[in-house]
């Protein structure tokens, strides 16, 4: 049997150990649940079976000169498309985009690749009116947090990452 010579010290040590374990558990569950991911993506993730998919992600910034307006192009981190895990991409796609594997369901795939609609456009669509053309909307509402997967801000080299499967926590609301 253990003999406790100083009960106050014993209680303080036990309380400190329990506090440290509680803080470690909160940190673990925060990062495991995707601390900065969008709640809509998490909610859509509960609707069906998650499967492995590939994401084609814009990694290079839009060109400042050219035929198209830079505001009409995909931004760095935008999810251009989702594909089945056995999809093959061309050499140009592998060199110009980031291709990663994620485990998401079909509802999440549809959500992250949909173009955003403004509130006015939704109202006009309900009333069978033509939406205004002057309004500028981003190409995508969701993006991949490139820093979270280890892509530096000055790294514009396209590549395919096949050795790791990411979860929904890398998908963030822009």
The whole-number pLDDT of residue 116 equals 75
The DSSP call for residue 107 is H
Per-domain residue ranges for the chain? 6-35, 37-128+137-173
In whole angstroms, what is the distance from residue 84 CA to residue 106 CA?
11
Burial of 170 (0-12, 13-18, 19+ CB in 10 A): buried
Q: 142 φ, ψ to 5°?
A: -115, 155
> Beta-strand (E) ranges in 25-158?
51-58, 79-83, 97-104, 142-144
Reading the chain (174 residues) residue by residue, the pLDDT tens digits are 678 888 898 899 889 988 898 888 777 665 555 445 555 666 666 677 889 999 999 998 766 666 555 556 788 899 999 999 899 999 999 999 999 999 998 888 888 888 776 544 554 555 555 555 444 556 788 899 999 999 998 898 999 998 999 998 899 887
């Amino acid at each position: 049997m253990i003999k406790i010579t100083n009960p106050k010290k014993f209680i303080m040590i036990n309380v400190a150990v329990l506090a440290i374990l509680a803080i470690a558990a909160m940190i673990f569950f925060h990062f495991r649940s995707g601390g900065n991911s969008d709640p809509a993506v998490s909610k859509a993730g509960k609707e069906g079976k998650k499967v492995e998919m590939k994401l084609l992600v814009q990694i290079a910034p839009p060109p400042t000169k050219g035929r198209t307006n830079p505001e009409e192009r995909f931004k760095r981190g935008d999810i251009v498309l989702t594909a089945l895990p056995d999809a093959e991409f061309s050499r140009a796609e592998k060199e110009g985009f980031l291709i990663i594997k994620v485990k998401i369901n079909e509802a999440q795939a549809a959500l992250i690749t949909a173009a955003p609609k403004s509130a006015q456009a939704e109202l006009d669509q309900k009333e069978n009116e033509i939406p205004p053309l002057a309004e500028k909307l981003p190409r995508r509402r969701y993006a991949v947090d490139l820093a979270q997967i280890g892509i530096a801000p000055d790294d514009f080299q396209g590549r395919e990452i096949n050795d790791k499967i990411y979860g929904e926590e890398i998908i963030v609301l822009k």
